[in-house]
Amino acid sequence: MGSIELKNITKSYDNKKNVIEDLNLKIPDGSFTVLIGPSGCGKTTTLRLIVGLEEPTSGEVYIDDKSMEKVEPGDRDIAMVFQNYALYPTMNVRENIEFGLINNKVKKEERDKLVTEIAEIVGLEDFLQKKPGELSGGQRQRVALARAMVKKPKVFIMDEPLSNLDAKLRAQMRIELSELHQKMNTTFVYVTHDQTEAMSMATNIILMNDGAIQQHDTPEKLYEDPANLFTAEFIGSPSMNTYEINEIPDYNPPIPEAKYVGFRPSAAEVILNSTSEKMNKNDLIIKVKIITREYLGSEIIYNCESGFGKVYFKTFQKEDMSDENEITLYLPEQKLFYFDEEGKRVHI
Amino acid sequence: MKRKLFPYFLVLPTMIVIILFNVYPILRMLYQSFHQWNMINDMQFIGFDNFIKLASDKVFLQSLGNTFYFVFWNVLLCTGLGLLLAVFLQKNTRFNRFLQSISFFPYVVSLASVSLLWSWIMNKDYGLLNYVISFFGITSQDWLGSPGLAMNSIILISVWKSVGFNVLIFISALQRIPKYIYEAAILDNSGSFQFFRKITLPMISPTLFFITIINIINSFKIFETVQILTRGGPLNSTRTIVYEIYEEGTLFFNVGYASAMGVVLLVILAILTIIYFKTQSKRVQYQ
């Protein structure tokens, strides 16, 4: 078990502006939930509220339907992996892993068994006598994971655990964490600002901005069915092209309240003979000028200029269009997203 | 060749000052300790006579004992109390900063002023201390005038003066422990005593090591308070090595004999420091 619920949470520091305002969210048991958002959006604060390292100004945190108001962080059955690992520098790896167990009065034989078991899972058997200072970044990361795992918690909390690793190790750890989640079958709550991490590992994503939840959904829904302009622009790489409709010449949206229109860089089709006709009156045809071209192996990202702003588009075709300065992009109606004045999504 | 010599040329002025005012006086003291000299007649070489005389000099041996007694308690209290206060005052609040400043205040005042101040506080007849303890029904004490109490009073004054400095150094060491380590320990359900023993203490051990050595060396040099408050009395109960050196050298002009005492002090300090480094440096955790 390990479901989490936040009810009407507000948090402010020193009675200044609210970092989080009236936040309500449910994290289902056994899920891999990722909190994502730009810096300062309140995701780390939310995490710390769940752990109990911060107290909410108002509102309540529930774990397994039990109020955590009077429960100390150490008694919440939560383990946390910190961004900078927060290993105890004066203890060796074994002592680091064992410290929580000793404090919880676990017997020596039991402790030894657990430590050996965990060390094997994360591949630290040969490093148990080493101090954190003697380990590489990846090894420290594993110690931090082992220290959290050994307690067999109901909820696993991770605060940007991969941000200090190099790109290759990060990709490898993403897969390992997903496997770990399947193996352990407990609730994972994970904070990151890296959408690749969020999209690749999460079963649920909570996208936050300015202390409020923008959308709480599966990765697929978040990408394919964004609820608002912020989500649409945040998820996806490169991000969605969005424009004010009245700046696009000769285009009338099918919905009168639509103020913005957007499309994914991968949705644009390139038309080489520019005399094509609209198949549907709501389709969008834009003429662009290629400025730069990023070759990424399997795909190419073009950065273009149109009369009303920048356009990014992505293609898996190999033809070289760098010479062809002026091209036409065709966007069928079903690939377009419309948003109203407040940035809320409107459907046809 | 020129490139190699140039740096030596640059440090030459400093080296001259160091050799002239640090190295030479020490060697000179060593030289004098093997002579008899009253600063007027010619120096007379007498071999180890000064040291042999020292070994049976009852007053000197007593002052040696007094000094060790003072050093032991002064170092223990300054370091222990300093650490304890630092742990309580480490949180960076306005009130704590105020208390820190107050505890540091005596350190800034000159020892002579401190001594004069305490000679009033500890006065038998009209002193503040006796006035305060009278509220608790304790009879007046002759703090500086009774042989059983005088040295303890000197220790009290010395701790009062320098504990604030210890607190300050300890606080800066404690505040260097990152906040997230405390948080990790909270999640590991660590009690505060356990945390102090297993994490805080090892992490500040370099500072603890440094402070203890500084305290030991400074304590051995105890002089001003003794000179101003008790002049080594009553019954030689507060006579310390440096005070003894001062008396022999500048009042009785037994310069050779005083130098021999200086050499003894030097050797004691050297031995203690070496022992301390050898035993403690193994336990110090430099990260």
Tell me: pLDDT of B173 over 60.
yes
Spell out which residues of chain A touch residue B198, defining contact as CB-CB under 8 Å. Answer: 88, 90-91, 99
Least Cα distance to B216 among B147, B287, B139, B275 occurs for B275
pLDDT at res. B233: 76
Closest partner residue to A84 among B180, B188, B287, by Cβ? B180
According to DSSP H, which parts of chain B are helical? Answer: 2-18, 24-32, 49-56, 58-89, 94-108, 111-121, 128-134, 150-175, 179-187, 192-195, 201-203, 205-220, 224-225, 241-246, 255-280
Residue at token pair 């931090």: A144
pLDDT at res. B148: 84
Do residues A284 and A242 touch, judged by C-beta distance below 8 A? Answer: no
Residue at token pair 């490898």: A172
Closest CA–CA distance from residue B286 to any residue of chain A (Å) = 9
Residue at token pair 């490093």: A127
- B275 residue type, one letter: I
Is the backbone of residue B47 left (phi > 0), alpha (psi -120 to 50) or beta? left
pLDDT at res. A289: 87
pLDDT at res. B263: 93
Judge whether A55 is closer than 8 Å to chain B, CB to CB: no
Secondary structure element (H or E) that encloses residue B134, with its range: helix B128-134
Q: How confident is the prediction for chain B on average, in pLDDT?
A: 88
Note the pLDDT tens digit of each residue in A123-145. 888 888 888 888 888 888 889 98
According to DSSP H, which parts of chain A are helical? Answer: 43-51, 93-103, 108-122, 137-149, 167-184, 195-201, 219-224, 229-234
More confident residue, A273 or B70: B70
Tell me: pLDDT of B282 over 70.
no
pLDDT at res. A283: 84
From CA B66, how far away is CA A311, in angstroms rounded? Answer: 86
Tell me: pLDDT of B130 over 60.
yes
Q: What average pLDDT does the segment B123-148 reach? A: 84
pLDDT by residue for chain A (348 residues), tens only, comes to 788 998 888 888 877 788 888 889 999 999 999 999 988 888 888 999 999 888 888 888 999 888 888 888 888 889 999 888 889 988 889 989 999 888 888 888 888 888 888 888 888 888 888 888 888 888 888 899 889 888 888 899 999 888 888 888 888 888 988 988 888 889 999 999 888 889 999 999 999 998 889 999 999 999 999 999 999 999 888 889 999 888 888 788 888 888 899 999 988 888 766 566 667 778 888 888 888 888 888 888 889 888 888 999 888 876 667 666 788 888 888 889 999 988 889 887
Judge whether A74 is closer than 8 Å to chain B, CB to CB: yes
Secondary structure element (H or E) that encloses residue A216, with its range: strand A212-217
Kindly state the tokens that stand for A178: 């997903």
Note the pLDDT tens digit of each residue in B22-58. 999 999 999 999 988 888 888 888 888 889 888 898 8
From CA B26, how far away is CA B30, in angstroms rounded? Answer: 6
pLDDT at res. A84: 87
From CA B61, how far away is CA B80, in angstroms rounded? Answer: 28
Spell out which residues of chain B touch residue A51, defining contact as CB-CB under 8 Å. Answer: 187
Residues 6+ apart with CB under 8 A from A190: A32, A33, A34, A35, A157, A158, A161, A177, A197, A198, A201, A202
* DSSP per-residue codes, B112-132: HHHHHHHHHHT-TTT-HHHHH
Instruction: Say yes or no: ipTM exceeds 0.90.
Output: no
Do residues B245 and B261 touch, judged by C-beta distance below 8 A? Answer: yes
Q: B213 to each of A305, B166, B200, B216, how far by Cα in Å?
A: 70, 12, 20, 5
Closest CA–CA distance from residue A115 to any residue of chain B (Å) = 15
List the domains of chain B with CATH numbers: 52-280 (1.10.3720.10)
Residue at token pair 């520019």: A274
Give the least confident one: A309-323, B26-40, B180-194, B266-280.
A309-323
- Beta-bridged to residue A33, according to DSSP, are A189, A204
pLDDT at res. A236: 87
| Beta-sheet pairing, A18-27 with A4-12 | antiparallel
Do residues A345 and A226 touch, judged by C-beta distance below 8 A? Answer: yes
Q: What average pLDDT does the segment B89-104 reach? A: 86
Secondary structure element (H or E) that encloses residue B6, with its range: helix B2-18
pLDDT at res. B286: 57
Contact A88 B180 (CB under 8 A): no
Measured torsion, CA atoms of residues B24, B27, B33, B37, in degrees rounded to the nearest 10: -30
Least Cα distance to A100 among A113, A85, A115 occurs for A115
Q: How confident is the prediction for chain A on average, in pLDDT?
A: 87
From CA A271, how far away is CA A331, in angstroms rounded? Answer: 10
Note the pLDDT tens digit of each residue in B98-120. 888 888 888 888 888 888 888 88
List the domains of chain A with CATH numbers: 4-227 (3.40.50.300), 237-346 (2.40.50.140)
Q: What average pLDDT does the segment B226-244 reach? A: 87
Least Cα distance to B211 among B171, B267, B151 occurs for B171
Residues of B with CB under 8 A from a CB of A: 178, 180-181, 183-191, 194, 198-199, 202-203, 285, 287
Kindly state the tokens that stand for A87: 């290993």
pLDDT at res. A74: 85
Specify the 3-state DSSP secondary structure of B25.
Answer: helix
Spell out which residues of chain A touch residue B185, defining contact as CB-CB under 8 Å. Answer: 88, 99
From CA B110, how far away is CA B166, in angstroms rounded? Answer: 17
Specify the 3-state DSSP secondary structure of A87.
Answer: coil
Tell me: pLDDT of B141 over 60.
yes
Question: What end-to-end distance do the CA atoms of chain B give, in Å?
Answer: 40
pLDDT at res. A324: 64
Residue at token pair 């990151």: A192
pLDDT at res. A274: 54
Is the backbone of residue B236 left (phi > 0), alpha (psi -120 to 50) or beta? left
